[in-house]
Amino acid sequence: MKLQLAVVVALNLLFLSQAKAAPVPFGIVIHGGAGTISRDSMTPVQQQAYETTLKHAVDSGYQVLANGGSSLDAVSAAVVILEDSPLFNAGKGAVYTYDGKHELDAAIMRGDNRGAGAVAGVTTVKNPIKLARAVMERSEHVLLAGQGAELFAKEQQLELVKNNYFDTEFRYQALQKALKALSKTPHQAQLRLSPAFPLEWNVGTVGAVAIDQQGLLAAATSTGGMTAKRYGRIGDAPLIGAGTFADNQSCAVSATGHGEFFIRYQVAGDICARVRYQGKSASVAADEVMQELKTVGGLGGVIVVDNKGGLSWHLNSEGMYRAKRQQGKAAEVAIFKD
Ligand code: ASP
């Protein structure tokens, strides 16, 4: 009898320990910017080019996870591919500032110890996400800006390029349109909110969120910011809790859209706070936050991964370049809202 009891207890303990150790599925979600992206505004060739690059990026991140790599390596791998593509407003293909230059912002965060690194207004770093990661892992700081960030990049022996490496004809044309619109009004802040200054002039910020086989959450975002930005303007992407956030107790988020709103409404942090403190699912929390943002005029989207491996995307604009892939499943790629 005693022996039977001992066996039952032992089996239960074994079951419990296995249940506890049951891993959550790994997975990754990426975005390539949100905004006015409608079917009419794209040719089939353009659509194909975006879909191919998104798939390549999500599959590369997925492969890192499948090989047992960390979510930090997965989001970095995906974001570097998107930064190197001229299609997106990050790295090569970044939008132009008012002065015809490029100033790049990026951030990365890990969800276990809330380690984070970010850079703002860098002009010669080929892959700003690599610099953000160096800030997180090889400096005592979280956010470096401008010349200091460039100096750190040099010390870290990251690849540097001339600012015109980031040039593309498509973004140059967007700057010309923006400058024309701006010349007609001294009220820039008003104009940026009006249909005369559509979000598509900026669209293309990139980001990735992932969970790895160890359950570590990570988020990364990289952008050229907004077309014709001035005065050292910095967006939400490099601000922890605004455009980028990761916390193993809730979720990881990367955002894209009108940065000023995402900063003021702490979008990424707010989503994770609703999960952590209100017990909401990440998907419900993200839907709520994006709907609330829309009511105050903030357009864009977010990608989210929760600590149970749930992957989702949420947008209140017409479209968002995006892709996701969960353990054992095929990649899903999407552009339009429906
Ligand atoms: N959020 C970016 C910024 O405001 C722009 C974008 O995502 O389109 O800098």
Number of Cβ within 10 Å of residue 109's Cβ equals 30
164: DSSP letter: G
Asked whether residue 289 is assigned to any structural domain, the reply reads yes
214: DSSP letter: T
| 70: enclosing H helix or E strand | none
**Best residue for ligand 1 mutational test, from 103, 202, 317 (most atoms within 8 Å of Cβ):** 202
Give the mean pLDDT of 13-21: 52
Asked whether residue 11 is assigned to any structural domain, the reply reads no
Domain that holds residue 257: 26-336
Least confident of 136-140, 175-179, 265-269: 175-179
- How far, in Å, CA of 266 to CA of 268, rounded? 6
Tell me, what's the pLDDT at 41?
A: 78
Positions of E strands within 111-179: 116-122, 143-145
Residue nearest to atom 7 of ligand 1 (CA): 256
Whether pLDDT at 29 is above 90? yes
Q: Which atom of ligand 1 is nearest to the CA of 256?
A: 7
Tell me, what's the pLDDT at 198?
A: 64
Whole-number Å distance, alpha carbon 5 to ligand 1 midpoint, is 62
Whole-number Å distance, alpha carbon 144 to ligand 1 midpoint, is 18
- How far, in Å, CA of 252 to CA of 211, rounded? 9
Let me know: does 234 contact 225? Beta carbons within 8 Å.
yes
Tell me the CATH number at 142.
Answer: 3.60.20.30
Tell me, what's the pLDDT at 337?
A: 87
Whole-number Å distance, alpha carbon 214 to ligand 1 midpoint, is 31
| 208: enclosing H helix or E strand | strand 206-211
Tell me, what's the pLDDT at 189?
A: 60
Counts of helices then strands in the chain (DSSP H, E):
10, 12
Active site residue 205: yes
Let me know: does 236 contact 259? Beta carbons within 8 Å.
yes
Tell me, what's the pLDDT at 5?
A: 59
Tell me, what's the pLDDT at 12?
A: 58
Q: Which atom of ligand 1 is nearest to the CA of 259?
A: 4
Least confident of 5-9, 111-115, 171-175: 5-9
Q: Return the amino acid letter for 201.
A: W
Whole-number Å distance, alpha carbon 221 to ligand 1 midpoint, is 10
For the chain, percent of residues with pLDDT exceeding 90: 81
Whether pLDDT at 1 is above 60? no
Let me know: does 46 contact 219? Beta carbons within 8 Å.
no
Q: pLDDT (tens digit, 9 = 90+) per residue, 210-232? A: 999 999 999 999 999 999 999 99
Structure tokens at 62: 């997925």
Higher pLDDT residue, 316 or 4?
316
Asked whether residue 281 is assigned to any structural domain, the reply reads yes
- How far, in Å, CA of 288 to CA of 274, rounded? 10
Count of domains in the chain?
1
- How far, in Å, CA of 206 to CA of 174, rounded? 18
Q: pLDDT (tens digit, 9 = 90+) per residue, 92-150? A: 999 999 999 999 999 999 999 999 999 999 999 999 999 999 999 999 999 999 999 99
Give the mean pLDDT of 52-67: 98
Let me know: does 323 contact 55? Beta carbons within 8 Å.
yes
Structure tokens at 241: 């809790």
Higher pLDDT residue, 21 or 180?
180
Whether pLDDT at 199 is above 90? no
Q: Which residues line ligand 1 (CB under 6 A)?
A: 33, 202-203, 205, 223, 225-226, 235-237, 243, 256-257, 259
| Catalytic entry in 53, 97, 124, 205 | 205
Whether pLDDT at 15 is above 60? no
Distance in Å from the first CA to the final CA of the chain:
63
Q: Which of 179, 176, 225, 231 is nearest to 199 (CA)?
A: 225
Tell me, what's the pLDDT at 244?
A: 98
Question: Treating both helix axes as pointing N-terminal to C-terminal, what angle do 71-84 and 44-66 enclose, rounded to 10 degrees?
Answer: 160
Q: Which atom of ligand 1 is nearest to the CA of 300?
A: 7
- How far, in Å, CA of 332 to CA of 338, rounded? 14
Asked whether residue 18 is assigned to any structural domain, the reply reads no
Asked whether residue 14 is assigned to any structural domain, the reply reads no
Asked whether residue 42 is assigned to any structural domain, the reply reads yes
Higher pLDDT residue, 268 or 317?
268
Supply the mean pLDDT for the chain.
92
Give the side-chain half-sphere CA count within 13 A for 188: 13
**Best residue for ligand 1 mutational test, from 222, 253, 254, 258 (most atoms within 8 Å of Cβ):** 258
Whole-number Å distance, alpha carbon 24 to ligand 1 midpoint, is 31
Torsion on CA atoms 299, 303, 304, 310, rounded to nearest 10: 130
- How far, in Å, CA of 252 to CA of 248, rounded? 8
Tell me, what's the pLDDT at 35?
A: 78
Tell me, what's the pLDDT at 171?
A: 94
Asked whether residue 6 is assigned to any structural domain, the reply reads no
Asked whether residue 64 is assigned to any structural domain, the reply reads yes
Q: Which atom of ligand 1 is nearest to the CA of 258?
A: 4
Whether pLDDT at 11 is above 60? no
Structure tokens at 92: 């090569």
Tell me, what's the pLDDT at 136?
A: 98
User: What residues have CB less than 8 Å from 21, skipping those under 6 apart?
Assistant: none
Higher pLDDT residue, 246 or 17?
246
Give the mean pLDDT of 290-312: 96
